Amino acid sequence: MKFVLYTSVLNQEQYDVLAVPDIVKTARTQNNIHGITGVLLFDGLNFTQYFEGSEEAVDTLLANILRDNRHKNIIIVLTGQQEKRLYNDWGMGYIDISDNQVDIDGCIAAADFSVDSFKRKISRLDVE
């Protein structure tokens, strides 16, 4: 099972927050087809996304995401292989962190950062 965790910024020059429901809708349909699960966090400007699946599915999705004009400044925080899925329930869970105090940047910057610590950090947030 391969996974990717990245951050990016909404391309505000050409899109606004109304692009986000579209992104989530497509993601859910496509991810179910391709066996991708994960979670997308959005604070009104910045995205943080974690996704996992077969190597082929993850590589294809990453290539799509990297050339998607709706966001920019994409930084791959962590990628690798793991034994099991972290998310079984969601094609792509969505978490609005705009009025939340969760410190994703701090979590990602932490010396002991791992995908598990990321999941622990966001596990108390409501997935839509």
Residues lying near ligand FMN in the complex (CB under 6 A) are found at 8, 23, 26-27, 30-31, 40, 47, 49, 51, 61, 64-65, 68, 70-71, 92
Question: Which lies closer to ligand FMN via its Cβ, residue 26 or residue 54?
Answer: 26
Residue 60's contacts (CB-CB under 8 Å, 6 or more residues apart) are 34
* H or E, element range at 51: strand 46-53
Whole-number minimum distance, CB 22 to ligand FMN, in Å? 9
Question: Which lies closer to ligand FMN via its Cβ, residue 18 or residue 111?
Answer: 18
Question: Which lies closer to ligand FMN via its Cβ, residue 27 or residue 122?
Answer: 27
Question: Which lies closer to ligand FMN via its Cβ, residue 5 or residue 71?
Answer: 71
Whole-number minimum distance, CB 95 to ligand FMN, in Å? 13
Q: Are 66 and 5 in contact (CB under 8 A)?
A: no
Please report, for residues 11, 45, 99, 110, the alpha-carbon distance to residue 123 in angstroms, rounded to integers and kept in the order given.
27, 21, 16, 17
Structure tokens given for 113: 């950062």
Q: In what order do the strands lie in the sheet with 37-42?
A: 71-81, 2-10, 46-53, 37-42, 93-96
Whole-number minimum distance, CB 5 to ligand FMN, in Å? 12
Whole-number minimum distance, CB 92 to ligand FMN, in Å? 5
Structure tokens given for 109: 């910057």
